[in-house]
Amino acid sequence: MKSFLKFLLFFSAFMGLYGGNFLHAQKQGQAAIDSLLKELPKQKEDTSYVKLLINLSSGYWRINPNEGIKYGQQGLELAIKLHWEKGMAICYNEIGVNFLYKSDYQTALDYYLKSLKISERTGDKKSIAGVTCNIGIIHDRLSDYPKALEYYFRALKIDEEIGNKRFTANVTGNIGTIYRSLKDYPKALEYTLRQLKINEEMGDKMGVSNAINNIGVVYYYQGDYPKALEYYFRALKMYEEMGIKYGISNVYESIGNVYTVQKNFTMAIEYMMNALRMQEEIGDRAGMASDLTNIGIAYVKIVNDTAAKPARMTGDQEFAVNKYKPTTVIPAGRSAQLRHAIDYLQRGLEISKEIRSPNLMQDCYEYLAQAYKLSGDFKKALEFADNYQAIKDSIFSKDNNEQIVKLSMKNEYDRQHLADSLKTAEREKIAYIKLQRQRGFTVMGIVGILLLGGFSFFISKERRRSEQERKKSDELLLNILPGEIANELKANGITKARHYENVTVLFTDFVNFTSAGERMSPQALIDELHYCFRAFDEITGRHNIEKIKTIGDAYLAVAGLPAADIGHAEKTVRAAIEMNEFMQDRIAKLGDRTFGVRIGVHSGSVVAGIVGVKKFAYDIWGDTVNTAARMEQNSEAGKINISQSTYQLVKDKFACEYRGEIEAKNKGRMKMYFVSTNS
């Protein structure tokens, strides 16, 4: 809910940096893009054509960043061909912004730095300030607030020197967002009011409306909701006068969020529905996902708070109610309200998965679990609760990964510190030898020897401590990343995603996990899950199979990466047989105090790499992963179900039973085989 409140705080920093000014015009979103696309065939391959491609790249930021990158690359190629350096710098920046919207911060930074290098070479201070600001935005997104402030103040200094008031206002507003994130609300308000004053002096209505909205956000985070609404409605009037649909839709959502907190659910859903309709019109998938999720959350809260009463409205709010004449009718009865909640949350979840927004997915899972629990469907509630916990753990593990990076940086400091100590010791030793030659063994010489001995002990101790810290961080890193990937990350600071043509993916799932949870205490359930997964880890380790992750009670692993392995399919099937045998033995000993296991295997190609920059996790993607999941879903307890492609690779090694063509969700009919566990 909070992520999109932040959008307008730096919305203007992106606008018109090196073009994209069409967003100020009457046509916006997809309509503006369609208008630009019609102009493409009319243009000659000159700088005007590059500018048109830049505007297209800018227009796609929030609608479809992949298309934005495509047009940005086309503009870059033409700018290079024309030897137009300023155009090259602009294109690099626009491509970077599109990668920023994909949350690919490292790639965005790479493009920004290329843009900055050209701008510095050409002495274009306006462009230098703009790109420096955008680098600050990356650090802002990564919650590295000191670094973000450093870049913002650097950009602000240049903008003030060259008298660029428009961008001075933008950067000043961004500085306000940092102080708001740091919960220094007086400072946040101070800089946002400065932003407002500069825009008022310029007569920039768009800038004024952005600043007014930003002031509302500060009050929202302070918990002063009447004041927040006052500024939101002021901003809304201005956006409507200018016809800025992005601004209108985002303020609608902000107002809806305030009403949700105030438990005025009719008005909350009314404004969020207005925001959703406008986001659909614009084609903003991220905005749609946020609105759908927030509407679903509001319906869950209605059921949880049946005694909710509308808060008293201010004059501005009454004006809005009279003007828009709310049409939202919240259905009576818990069942209907919960159906609405589930419908909106499911739709929000679907888009959140498409755009890969873990925070929105987390909200959807959390409130879907609540909605199903309230409706009495405890099986579904547990399923979504597991998904919520899994993605929460994933985000938490990414925080741990950040600590690993910091620990690695500390070790680098320790190694440098040790190297400096050794150099100092060597200098002291040489000085002492010279002194000894001059004076012989005097009392001072003896003291020097003792000092050298103590210093040598210190160096030895420092070396051991540094080595222990390095070993600790290496072990922690190898616990979450394949060795080859961990080494690349330590050596280069980044890793690139790779395509692997021949791998085999294994999925397991415990079929009676839910019912076991009803019979067992929570601690006993977790202990048994841990015991089984630890055994699976040992099995995959013996067969040189890379564990990827656990998702609730599911286990995902892959053979054939990061190093190619010709026996990937055979090793995976042998590991699956061992896992199945382990669980059968476990059932024989514990009965219904453990779980049955269902296993699926499929061979094909995947893309593997680290997700994110600041908070990373190694993962795999592709149709092969989805198909392996379908093999598991169509398996049976105590059975190993493999696909046709895996069967072709292992048919001479294992006895397999052909099951025929079976309907798989979203895949159609597929040939499947059970592997004989006696193979």
Q: Would you place residue 17 in the very low, low, confident or very high pLDDT band (cuts 50, 70, 90)?
A: very low
Q: What is the pLDDT of residues 238-281, one digit of tens each?
A: 999 988 888 899 899 999 999 999 989 989 999 999 999 988 88
Q: Are residues 639 and 514 in the same domain?
A: yes
Q: Which residues contact 452 (CB under 8 A, 6 or more apart)?
A: 425, 428, 429, 432
What pLDDT does 25 receive? 39
- 491 inside domain: no
Q: Is the pLDDT of residue 76 over 80?
A: yes
What pLDDT does 317 receive? 47
Q: Are residues 515 and 470 in the same domain?
A: no
In this prediction, residues 348-377 reach a mean pLDDT of 86
- 238 inside domain: no
In this prediction, residues 104-133 reach a mean pLDDT of 90
In this prediction, residues 146-168 reach a mean pLDDT of 91
What pLDDT does 311 receive? 42
User: How far is the C-alpha of 40 from the C-alpha of 360, rounded, in Å?
Assistant: 36
Q: Would you place residue 523 in the very low, low, confident or very high pLDDT band (cuts 50, 70, 90)?
A: confident
Inter-residue contact 313 to 350 (CB < 8 Å): no
CATH of the domain at 604: 3.30.70.1230
Give whichever of 140-149, 310-319, 554-563 has the largest mean pLDDT.
554-563
Q: Say which range, 10-24, 82-96, 163-177, has the weakest mean pLDDT.
A: 10-24
Inter-residue contact 181 to 145 (CB < 8 Å): yes
Q: Are residues 568 and 637 in the same domain?
A: yes
User: How far is the C-alpha of 543 from the C-alpha of 536, rounded, in Å?
Assistant: 11
- Supply the range of the domain harboring residue 448: 395-480
Please name the amino acid found at residue 84.
W
In this prediction, residues 342-362 reach a mean pLDDT of 85
Q: Is the pLDDT of residue 14 over 50?
A: no
Q: Is the pLDDT of residue 408 over 60?
A: no
Coil, strand, or helix at residue 639?
strand
Q: Are residues 213 and 249 in the same domain?
A: no
Q: What is the pLDDT of residues 57-68, one digit of tens each?
A: 887 776 678 888
Q: What is the pLDDT of residues 617-641, one digit of tens each?
A: 778 888 899 899 999 999 999 999 9
What pLDDT does 570 receive? 93
Q: Is the pLDDT of residue 557 over 90?
A: yes
Residue 283 phi/psi, 5-degree rounding, is 95, 25
Q: Are residues 179 and 209 in the same domain?
A: yes
What pLDDT does 123 receive? 92
What is the total count of domains within the chain?
5
User: How far is the C-alpha of 179 from the C-alpha of 600, rounded, in Å?
Assistant: 50
- 667 inside domain: yes
Give, in order, the Cα–Cα distances in Å from 602 to each of 66, 136, 505, 569, 607: 29, 44, 6, 8, 15
The token pair at 374 is: 């309230």
Q: Is the pLDDT of residue 568 over 50?
A: yes
Q: Are residues 359 and 277 in the same domain?
A: yes
Q: Are residues 534 and 624 in the same domain?
A: yes
Which of 148, 151, 145, 150 lies closest to 131 in space, CA to CA?
151
User: How far is the C-alpha of 41 from the C-alpha of 252, rounded, in Å?
Assistant: 37
- Cβ atoms within 10 Å of 289's Cβ, excluding its own: 27
User: What is the percent of the chain with per-residue pLDDT over 90, rounded to a whole number?
Assistant: 39
Max distance between CA atoms of the chain, in angstroms, equals 100
Torsion of CA 69, 359, 343, 387, to 10 degrees: 120
- Cβ atoms within 10 Å of 595's Cβ, excluding its own: 25
Q: Are residues 554 and 645 in the same domain?
A: yes
In this prediction, residues 341-360 reach a mean pLDDT of 85
What pLDDT does 507 receive? 94
User: How far is the C-alpha of 189 from the C-alpha of 187, rounded, in Å?
Assistant: 5
Inter-residue contact 169 to 191 (CB < 8 Å): no
Q: Are residues 12 and 152 in the same domain?
A: no
Q: Would you place residue 190 in the very low, low, confident or very high pLDDT band (cuts 50, 70, 90)?
A: very high
The token pair at 144 is: 């590295």
End-to-end CA distance of the chain: 53
Q: Which long-range contacts (CB under 8 A, 24 or more apart) does 330-339 make?
A: 330/265, 330/266, 330/269, 330/299, 330/302, 334/303, 334/374, 334/375, 335/375, 337/299, 337/302, 337/303, 338/299, 338/300, 338/303, 338/371, 338/374, 338/375
Give whichever of 42-51, 154-163, 405-414, 487-496 has the largest mean pLDDT.
154-163
Give, in order, the Cα–Cα distances in Å from 579 to each of 377, 508, 556, 573: 31, 9, 13, 10
What pLDDT does 254 receive? 92
Please name the amino acid found at residue 620.
I
Q: Are residues 659 and 554 in the same domain?
A: yes
Element of type H or E holding 582:
helix 568-590
Q: Would you place residue 282 in the very low, low, confident or very high pLDDT band (cuts 50, 70, 90)?
A: confident
- 72 inside domain: yes
User: What count of Cα atoms within 13 Å lies in the side-chain half-sphere of residue 146?
Assistant: 0
Inter-residue contact 272 to 302 (CB < 8 Å): no
The token pair at 297 is: 């959350």
What pLDDT does 307 receive? 41
Q: Are residues 102 and 132 in the same domain?
A: no
- 232 inside domain: no
CATH of the domain at 101: 1.25.40
In this prediction, residues 156-168 reach a mean pLDDT of 92
CATH of the domain at 156: 1.25.40.10
Q: Is the pLDDT of residue 382 over 70?
A: yes
The token pair at 426 is: 């060597």
Between 674 and 307, the higher pLDDT residue: 674
User: What is the percent of the chain with per-residue pLDDT over 70, rounded to a whole number?
Assistant: 74
Torsion of CA 143, 133, 121, 19, to 10 degrees: 130
- 490 inside domain: no
Please name the amino acid found at residue 326.
P
Q: Got the DSSP string for 330-395?
A: PPSSHHHHHHHHHHHHHHHHHHHHHTT-HHHHHHHHHHHHHHHHHHT-HHHHHHHHHHHHHHHHHH
- 173 inside domain: yes
Q: Are residues 19 and 95 in the same domain?
A: yes
Mutual orientation of helices 65-82 and 47-59 as an angle, nearest 10°? Answer: 160
- 95 inside domain: yes
3-state secondary structure 439-483: HCCCHHHHHHHHHHHHHHHHHHHHHHHHHHHHHHHHHHHHCCCCH
Coil, strand, or helix at residue 545?
coil
Q: Is the pLDDT of residue 356 over 80?
A: no
